[in-house]
Amino acid sequence: MARFARLKVLQTMVETGVIPVFYDADLEVAKQVAAAVFAGGCPLLEFTNRGDHAWEVFSELERHCSRTLPGLILGVGSVVDPGTAALYINCGANFVVGPVLNADVARACNRRKIAYSPGCGSASEISQAEELGCEIVKIFPGGEVGGPPFVKAIKGPCPWVSLMPTGGVENSEASLRAWFEAGVACVGMGSNLVTRDLLKAGDYEGIAARVRSTLALVRTIRGGK
């Protein structure tokens, strides 16, 4: 069962502006990354369903977070079918993210009051996701579907949409400013935030510092908000 209400999760996504995206098959590494992300000031972490037995790592990570990082909202990414969504929801996922839109995943998440952000790449897909109850829609792959100009074009006729690009979001002022000024609600950041070099070096303090500086940059771009 999720530890956080859906409204709390969605509000935190918008307020924080950044959702770190990460996967590692090693539970101890995952624990260290979760602690580093939280120490960097980010209360959100998306653990992706990328490898064999990923759900087992996630389950133990959520148990760990509930004890030692109770303020961290842990969700799952790379979910493409309702069975996988249900598995992670029963392991405590507080939100579900996917690279594609799946109506059955939306229904499963709605049944359990879990926030679902499906990957969409067109106005029609975004509209369909909203009809299915999705509040924050993932734009994926962000760079390839059109980047910030795509977001701006969508929000012209549909200013009510809340979009979260993942893919094509770089850890630089130019990239983040372009996305936020186009009107995104928040951004998902994977290896551009939790970098392979930092992971390989076991530099978790470096990860925390990178998260901290990214959040500060987003606040500056948003005018201190």
Each residue's pLDDT tens digit, 64-86 = 999 999 999 999 999 999 999 99
Q: Is the pLDDT of residue 163 over 80?
A: yes
Mean pLDDT score, 85-109: 98
| Mean pLDDT to the nearest integer, 91-102 | 98
Residue 215 pLDDT level (bands cut at 50, 70, 90): very high
Give the pLDDT of residue 117.
98
DSSP of 2-54: -SS-HHHHHHHHHHH-EEEEE--S-HHHHHHHHHHHHHTT--EEEEE--STTH
What pLDDT, in 10s, does the model give residues 108-159? 999 999 999 999 999 999 999 999 999 999 999 999 999 999 999 999 999 9
pLDDT score, position 225: 65
Confidence of residue 187 (pLDDT cuts 50, 70, 90): very high
Mean pLDDT on 86-93: 98
Reported as a pLDDT band with limits 50, 70 and 90, residue 224 is confident
Listed in sequence order, the DSSP H helices in the chain are: 6-16, 27-39, 54-68, 82-90, 103-111, 123-131, 147-155, 173-182, 196-201, 204-221
For 6-216, CATH gives 3.20.20.70
Mean pLDDT for all residues in the chain: 97
Confidence band of 171 (pLDDT split at 50, 70, 90) = very high
Per-residue pLDDT, 1: 87
Distance (Å) of CA 225 to CA 14, 46, 222: 11, 23, 6
